[in-house]
Amino acid sequence: TDPDYVPAPASEATASEDHAETDAENPKIDGADFPSSFARDSSKAARRTLCPKSYNARRRMTAAAAVGGFLAAFGLATLALGGRRGHLPKKGGGGDSVPFVPFGYEGRTVRPDASVATALTSGLNAMAHSGRTLSIATWNIAAINNNPFEYWITYPEDPEYERLMIAIEKFLEEPGELDVAVKDVFTDDMFNKLEKDMDGAGWDPGHLVRKYWEDDFQGRKIVSGFLKDAKLGSKRLASMPDRVTNTINVADRDEPVCRPTVINMYDGDLSSVGSWWEQWERFMFHDPVSIKGSDGAVKTMPVYQLLL
Q: Check: CB of residue 289 under 8 Å from CB of residue 248.
A: yes
- Using CA atoms, how far apart are residues 121 and 103, in angstroms rounded to an integer? 13
If pLDDT is split at 50, 70 and 90, which confidence band does 308 have? confident
What is the per-residue pLDDT across 116-145, written as a single tens digit (0 to 9) for each?
888 888 888 888 888 887 778 777 666 677
Single residue among 174, 192, 218 that ends a domain in this structure? 174
The answer as to whether 306 is a domain residue is: yes
Residue type (1 letter), 66: A
Q: Which residue has the higher pLDDT, 108 or 241?
A: 241
Beta bridge partners of 289: 301
Q: 231 and 255 share a domain?
A: no
Q: Which residue has the higher pLDDT, 199 or 109?
A: 199
pTM of the model: 0.54
Beta bridge partners of 299: 291
Single residue among 216, 237, 258 that ends a domain in this structure? 237
Domain residue limits at 151: 143-174
Number of domains, the chain: 4
Residue type (1 letter), 102: P
**What is the average pLDDT score of the chain?**
77
Nearest residue to 307 via CA among 220, 242, 221, 218:
242
The answer as to whether 47 is a domain residue is: yes
Q: 216 and 263 share a domain?
A: no
